[in-house]
A and B are shown apart, each in its own frame.
Chain A
């Protein structure tokens, strides 16, 4: 028979060994589970990102389809009506010995309206969109805004053609349009400065104004427009942020990776 203390010693050793082995198994199981969980959550995150991207592309596709349809209707319906009206005015002018100035002005205004309508209809056209150039279309958009003389828009660019396919250029164009509309609607600026440059395989786009600025704290509640711009930029793999300029206005900075 073992002495009492040795009895206890053997018992303690035995129980300690058992507990240690059990503990090691449980720890190994927990570590294994954690690894599997990390892999699962990462996979879930990738699937969600992919789903969000697919959804965004579908929405953009639908939007462009709607625009294309609208452009076609503008051209076929309203364009034809305006052209017919201009024709009638021309016929009336030929039958008049003295053409009043108001009629001449009406004919010129109608010609301008037909020209603008054609440009607008063309901007919605799918065929035209497939050959889309951001620089060219942005220049047209800027000329249109500058013609109103309420705001002066300056545009500086280093490249004549951006190293992006047509669809990303269309999305970027819509982002710039949204940014300019927000600026005109909320900031009431005198000048909007748009610049596009390439630096270290990144396209840097800045839309800055000298308007009223914005409250950065409350930006998250600024509505769908801002969120749309963020989603579209994320879709292109880029980043967008809003900053207050030294002059107190707003600057929208967009960076996109390019090949």
Chain B
């Protein structure tokens, strides 16, 4: 028990260096969760800003302007090229529409070409929407004209028909999903934090507890070496589980309650990755690194794995060469599972199981290597 207590007293001294990672990650997660969510339950039609110059100035062209004005915002601008270009550039207007002279006559004659001149900043959504709006309008009027209506009647009927809005029901796919986006991102970035926290905390503690002089002095007492190892292991396990539970607790806050279905798989995935990070930290501590080396290696492993394996950059954006290398790292398989849970790739339970086993293998190999090296070092210490 004395060793166990000492383990946590030493651990207490290492925690501040990791606290910064935990606080930043939790803050970002919480801010992201509670302030970045939009209300996606109400449909609103996109409203553009139009500046319309009506050169035709006919009843039909005015009717078109009025029709556009009902759905979008109209602004008046001086017909000066610089002013208009500035307005487009600074997005004070989305579209400048010129209704050409002779619009009504051409429309009545069934000619739908060259009725307008349209200017948008670039081929974005505003360009597509305005094109769609005008095409629909002209096509509808043409259809009514073809039916035998006169132009004023055709315009009126077309506008009436087009003003009918379809009932839009927002299909919230997340409402019944067990894995919302906020949780996806939380679990996506978790490996980097786990590596940083476990390396920065566990390594210094194990280094202290396994210092040659401390081990020597402890071995002089009535404590068996196996007992010493056992108490240190118990301390490590408790700390590792504690860290994981802390993050799971935060995850549940973001989730808004106890995990359901797929979220539990994500939790299991993160637990296995916690074991991987811990076993790597334990293995690393066997080489007695200095404080600066610990920081350096933490960053190299944490950032390196995050970039290579698709934590910071989606795997779909990474090259095949990078992904081929990433397969030899545990985070790659972690991210694959997370992608399956979020729907970024097809969910297959047998793949999830295989990937979890691959991650576990990384943990087991590192753990066994750490045990072997530890035993070798202890024997060498006894022989010197």
A and B interact: no
